[in-house]
Structure 1
Amino acid sequence: MGNKTILSELLLSGISDFPDLQLPLFLLFLFIYCMTLLGNICIIVLVVIDSHLHTPMYFFLGNLAFLDLCSSSITTPRMLFDLITNNWKISIPACLTQIFLFILLVTDEILLLAVMSLDRYVAICRPLHYVQIMDWKTCVHLTLCVWALSFAYSLVHILLALRMTFCDSNAVQSFFCDLPKLFQISCTDVFINLLTMFVLGGIYEIVFVLMTFIPYITVFSTVLKIKEKEKRFKAFSTCSSHLTVAFIFYGTLTFNYYKPSKKNQNITDQLASVFYTTITPLLNPLIYSLRNQELKTAIKRMYKVGSLF
């Protein structure tokens, strides 16, 4: 390393370079975060207390809401603190911790969306065997597998990230600790990190994206054969909600991590990062609550019970 000084702190770029926008942005993202908490906590509470929602589909939906709650809390509170204090410095241990938790939760969501697709496939294409196949033991085992695989994947990346040192520059071109942005300023050779991200990350994403979307070929062909209009609409609404969430999540994630890398941050990168870290966790409960009749009915039941007190 010669006489180069090893840095112990990193400097995040922030959301905007204009001081006059700091307070409006703080208020905007505070509102988004509060609505994200409210929407996802509402879904979790409904799934827990409403016996009509004690089914595998809503068990996984509750897990998805929990992941959205956690993933938004990994990045947004820190961003709000930095906006109000204008202090974008972060220690390297804190940065690596944020990276580990962020990769863990993002991978969790990728795998969980695939599991939710499997659940819809069994429910619609094999309805007579649904209760036997997707019993509570199976649901818990699938959820534990999702967490175990996600933890292993995140651990690989964070162990490789521990090799990195920072000496020439500490300016991270992102408002949170995003691993690819750290590669750009590392003094250590990051070839093995990049190779792991593209190979292992590519395998994970390709396999589980296919597991998410391929079952819907059979699902939609089965749905089209349903003669009762009400049942057909119910099946389409639950499937379309899941597919909408999956398209938004995979689309922004793929754009951000698998596009050609640029040395300088641009507005497109920033918008993509903001979208999948803060907007997607807000949209998920809205998409499911607006398109899912059972969830809307459960909200009405909870409101009626609340109005009695």
Structure 2
Amino acid sequence: MDKDKNKDKGDNDSGSSSAEWSDKLAELVAWFEGNPNLPEKIEPIVMLRFLKCMAFDVKRTKSLVELNYTMRNKHPHLFMDRNMEDEMTAKGLRVSDVLILPGITPQGNKLLFFRLADLDPRTRNSVEETKIFFMMSDARFTMPDVDREVGSENGEAYELDEADIANGDVQIVDIEGYTLRHLAYVSIFVLRIYMKFLQEAYPSRLQAMHVINCPSYLDRLISMMSPFIREEVRNMIKYHTEGLESLYKEVPRDMLPEEYGGKAGSLAELKARGVKSIKDKSAYLSDERYWKVSSQSKSRWSWF
């Protein structure tokens, strides 16, 4: 489905007062929990992300939610078979850096950072890398995007606020060391599912993608990815071929890892923080009540 239809409205205006979106949120949670074509449970903050992603349009939010969980259940090896103790998952965490950087940009966006930690092409595993990204995302989606303590000093529970949720995501992809040999280890099937989910079913709008440390054969990488990327997304991608100065003009430099000239912390520290987040949320991530659809009836998204 087209998540970008209300993109500008969602970026500049919540389109709903606190009372209005609270009522919509309560309606959607009740609809979700009573829908036999959806899992049993959903965290309110997760539903709020869906709602904000669709500019507080209830009808379009329902469509996004249905597509999201239909795709999850059609491809459980990517979205539901999750075990932090699994050897392949542990290896995937070692060889790739998937980082959700602290804070939000002045435009209200979240920065996500990706790079190869192990340059040996034989360590690539499309299934595990995709699984880890969505584990990180699902853990993140249960918490506010702004840096704040959940709960106040006197022990009060965190109160939902749509302003604590980013307007969208900005991805930064470092492809230094990526060679043509790596392409042989990329699963086209997994890549297709990943891109479709990210573009059409993910509860956060992609605002921009920055590709840094580009190799001389960049054109071949682009030609491989192009069939899976919608035109709107292709227009969001910026390739930085001559250092990082051009990147600093696009995202706040201080929000980047120290190794990239920023002040967000070292790559090792940021990675440890991300791994801890999915370990802390492991019970939630593996609880089928939040993910599995038990009903055998077919939704209108079943063909995805």
CA radius of gyration, larger in: 1
Higher helix share: 1
- Settle same-fold status: TM greater than 0.5: no
What's the TM-score, normalizing by structure 1? 0.23
What's the TM-score, normalizing by structure 2? 0.23
